[in-house]
Amino acid sequence: MLDCVHVKNLALIQESEIMFSEGLNILTGETGAGKSIIIDSISFALGERNASGFLREGETEGMVELYFSDISQELKDYLRARDIDCEGNEVILRRKLSGRRSVANINGEGVAAGVLKEAAGYLIDIHGQHEHQSLLSESRHLSYLDSFAGEKVTGKREQVKEIFYRYRDLKNELDASDISDDERLREMDLLTFEIDEITDAGLTPGEDTRLEEEFRRMKNFDKIVSALGEASGYLRGDRGAEDAIDRAATVLSSISGLDGRVDSIALTIDQVCDLVRGAGKDINAFLDDSGFDPERFDEVTRRLDTINHLKDKFGGSIEQVMICLEEKKEKLDKLKNLTDHLEMIKKKLGDTSEELSENCIALSDIRKEAAKKMEQCLVGSLKELNFLDVRFKVEFAKKDTPDQTGSDDIRFLISTNPGEPLKPLVKVASGGEMSRIMLGLKSIMADKDKVPTLIFDEIDTGISGETANKVAVKMRQISKDHQVICITHLPQIASAAEHHFLIEKNVEEGVTISNIRELREDEINLELSRMIGGDDNSETIRKSASEMRKKFAEK
């Protein structure tokens, strides 16, 4: 459930905190007061893209925080899989806007906007005019039916998707393998050449590393020998370090036993002398044993050239070259036995095609059963929304070729007036009807929809009178299973509120600011009166508002 929305420095809002509750939360206000800013702010916090000019005038940073409680186990699992702390049953979504750059986090952990958006899918669903339009897209109708069918269709649809991907991979492999004899022979010649090239090289793992180290030593042989010779001179030459240290030791030995501290120094010098002699012997031994072998240097150079050529051509390491070799051998074997290979793929493809067809039929049967129930439920829901003589049908057609969703092409047909034939939804429904059809869909899917919070924006487009009363009743029904937040300009819908918030626009010190606050019961009646009569605050209007409110207060 969405407990709190905290908005700072966005559009007309300087800083505002809105505390929502369970049930039906209604937001109203005069035109231009900033009702849409609340939805835009929530949408921004849920990961929607930055809105141009969304920052409040004169500010450099803005922010939205959403506080949710009683989060689902599914969301906890999603967050933990991404190393996001979610102890307890609360989660905080925060998004900060600075210029055109935004930073998002969940429970204090920085996340990409895409992760924020995915997490939001477990928490909240916003239904505005843009989603009403999605009903006009017949490509979306299948997803609505599958959502209604719920778990009955989910498992079978996943199975169909897995089989389809196997079928697609086999089809691609068959297409890639179906080549002419000339092309097959050319490719076999190339593969044979490359296999021989790698095999003849006789590569061994780690060989390149060992040779590179040897090459480096040999390439720098002169520099190494010169430096060691010079170092030997400093250590063992006439008046070198070894001679100087030896003389120092002799001098100190002449006063041995006169002072314990001097004896300690003498011991240290003796140890240094031993170390210097040892280093000198090691240098001389290295110089005696080492010798530059031009033939070996050429051999190492040529071998490294061969290895590096193969690495550049077939992979970045000897291990990758050897993997490539096995792949080429396997491909050559397939080409040598292409007829048998093609027959094997064709058989697998035929079996998979049959498996896909059988599962598509099973999936379609599940959908058709769900469609009948959906038709009955939606017609009943639409009649409650003042569609007095309405018919609705889910029309099925078969795709030319199945895909990951199955073989069904469906579209919604509707008739909203007596005597009219069923027609595609896109050709029949008006804006107001589309809003109610969407509301009807949401109401029949309420028990299947796991998202706890629903937001309705512009759900009252194109309706009034008794239809608005029916919509208000339906909204109240949905709010029994979900937290509902609704922005409306109709008093009939506002009168159903369990919690009513007023959005007001004021000018403070020459600056326009939008504020939002929850109304007391007496203030709700005043707001309903304003919505009914505008500036007319007559006793008749006030009584009408009171009666409208009382109707829902008694429920």
Q: Is the dihedral of CA 436, 437, 440, 441 positive or negative?
A: negative
Q: For the chain, what is the mean pLDDT?
A: 84
Confidence (pLDDT) at 410:
93
> What amino acid occupies position 36?
S
Distance CA 246, CA 123 (A): 84
Question: Model confidence over 292-340: pLDDT tens digits?
Answer: 666 777 888 899 999 999 999 998 899 999 999 999 998 888 887 777 7
The more confident residue out of 310 and 458 is 310
Give the range among 152-166, 409-423, 445-459 with minimum mean pLDDT.
445-459
Query: Strands, DSSP E only, in 404-539?
Result: 406-415, 423-424, 453-457, 483-487, 499-508, 511-518
> In percent, how much of the chain has pLDDT > 90?
28
The more confident residue out of 426 and 67 is 67
Torsion angle of C-alpha atoms 122, 127, 133, 137, degrees rounded to 10: 20
Confidence (pLDDT) at 292:
61
Alpha helices in 257-293 (DSSP H): 260-289
Confidence (pLDDT) at 30:
81
The more confident residue out of 373 and 448 is 373
Give the range among 104-113, 283-292, 462-471 with minimum mean pLDDT.
283-292
The more confident residue out of 554 and 270 is 270
Distance CA 128, CA 458 (A): 6
> In percent, how much of the chain has pLDDT > 70?
91
In the predicted model, is pLDDT for residue 143 greater than 70? yes
CB 470 within 8 A of CB 385: yes
Question: Model confidence over 254-306: pLDDT tens digits?
Answer: 777 776 787 788 788 888 888 877 887 777 777 666 666 667 778 888 999 99
Confidence (pLDDT) at 539:
80
In the predicted model, is pLDDT for residue 130 greater than 60? no
Distance CA 149, CA 365 (A): 12
Confidence (pLDDT) at 305:
92
Question: Model confidence over 501-540: pLDDT tens digits?
Answer: 998 888 777 777 888 899 998 899 889 888 887 666 678 8
pLDDT band at 430 (very low <50, low <70, confident <90, very high): low
In the predicted model, is pLDDT for residue 153 greater than 80? yes
Question: Model confidence over 32-50: pLDDT tens digits?
Answer: 666 778 888 888 888 876 6
> What amino acid occupies position 78?
Y
Question: Model confidence over 343-397: pLDDT tens digits?
Answer: 888 899 999 999 999 999 999 999 999 999 999 999 999 988 888 889 999 999 9
Question: Model confidence over 165-224: pLDDT tens digits?
Answer: 999 999 998 887 777 677 778 888 899 999 999 999 999 888 888 988 888 877 776 677
In the predicted model, is pLDDT for residue 499 greater than 60? yes
In the predicted model, is pLDDT for residue 129 greater than 60? no
How far, in Å, are 8, 10, 314, 460, 535 from residue 32 at the CA level? Answer: 19, 15, 66, 17, 16
In the predicted model, is pLDDT for residue 485 greater than 60? yes
* SS3 state of residue 54: coil
pLDDT band at 161 (very low <50, low <70, confident <90, very high): very high
β 109-111/101-106 pair status? antiparallel
DSSP 3-state percent helix, strand, coil across the chain (nearest 5): 55, 20, 25
| DSSP string over 373-384 | HHHHHHHHHHHH
